[in-house]
Every structure is written in C-alpha cells, then in structure tokens.
Structure 1
C-alpha cells in the first residue's frame, strides 16, 4: 500500500464538480483540489484513467505524486476532519 497526493486544476465548474465527486469516492480530501490516495500503482492508474475521461486535456491539469513510505508528514492549521476524529494515515497537528 502506497500513498499518493492527487491534485487538479479544472477550468470548468461542471467538470470540477465531477472530478471532485469521483475522487471523493476513492481518496481523502486534504484541501481544495488536493487529495490523499492510499493504494497501489495499479489502483492509482485505474483512477487516473477514469479521471482522464472527465477532464479536458487542453484546459485542465491533473497530477499524482507518490509520497515516500517513511517520509515526514505534518499538518498545520485547520483540520481536514471534525474535532475528535483522526484518520490513521494523517498526522496530528504539529
């Protein structure tokens, strides 16, 4: 199981909503247009292929970056989840 940051910049509000809804089914939203996906490369490729059919290659930008397995992770500022709920893959506030 690996972790990937998936982020996007979508020009059209309709496509933006479709991409957001689709990604929310598979990954954890961290910020606007930034998601954390946990899975293997085969699963990531399947999701990216599905998302590629939802975007316009000429106007939109969709990217995925692998995170190192033992890399440092920290969070500052507002929590992604409500107070008292901790998702095990996200670090507590620093």
Structure 2
C-alpha cells in the first residue's frame, strides 16, 4: 500500500479518569492501530494529524491528562524500522 503524503505517528496517552480513558481509546481506534496499552500507531496526512489533535483536545482534561505524539516521518519511508519491540510483538 502506497502511503505517500502520510507520516507515521506513535501516540501514547496517560488519562487519569477511566471514563475519559475509554473515550480517548475509542477515538484513537478511528485514527490508527493499537500497538501497546495506551499506545497507537497512526499513518496520517497533515489534515488527519490536525483532526486527531482536535478530537483528543476535546476529550482530555489538560490539567490532569497527557498525550504524547511522536512523528516517525514518512509512513512509506521505513517507519517500521524505527519501532522496536522486545518480547511479544
């Protein structure tokens, strides 16, 4: 699959309230694939990244929760090589 124009992002989150955590997790499933507990891999266009941030911004409490977004570069440019697992993948 050619993913030109998309970057690979790793999104990790710490959400303090179980209800908000459930809403964030459900929203994240619309943007990417879970790769670990509270960690998703998302291949997004620039517009998709903006939409992701907008969706998450509206779900969290900014004084309690935290979301980390890591840009691994072009999705078809070896992003898989920059994600390393030890143990069960």
With the shorter chain as reference, the TM-score category is 0.7 to 0.9
Please list every run of at least 4 consecutive aligned residues from structure 1 whose deviation after the TM superposition is greater than 2 angstroms.
68-76
The structure, 1 or 2, with the larger RCO (C-alpha pairs under 8 Å, 6+ apart) is: 2
Compare CA radii of gyration and give the structure with the larger one: 1
Gap runs ≥5 in structure 2: 1-5
Q: CA RMSD in A?
A: 1.4
Structure having the larger proportion of residues in strand: 2
- How far residue 46 of structure 1 moved from its aligned partner, in angstroms, is 0.6
TM-score (norm 2): 0.79
TM-score (norm 1): 0.75
Gap runs ≥5 in structure 1: 80-94
- How far residue 38 of structure 1 moved from its aligned partner, in angstroms, is 0.5
Question: How far apart in 2 are the matches of 1:77 and 1:45?
Answer: 33
- Given the alignment, which residue of 33, 40, 47 partners 2:38? 33
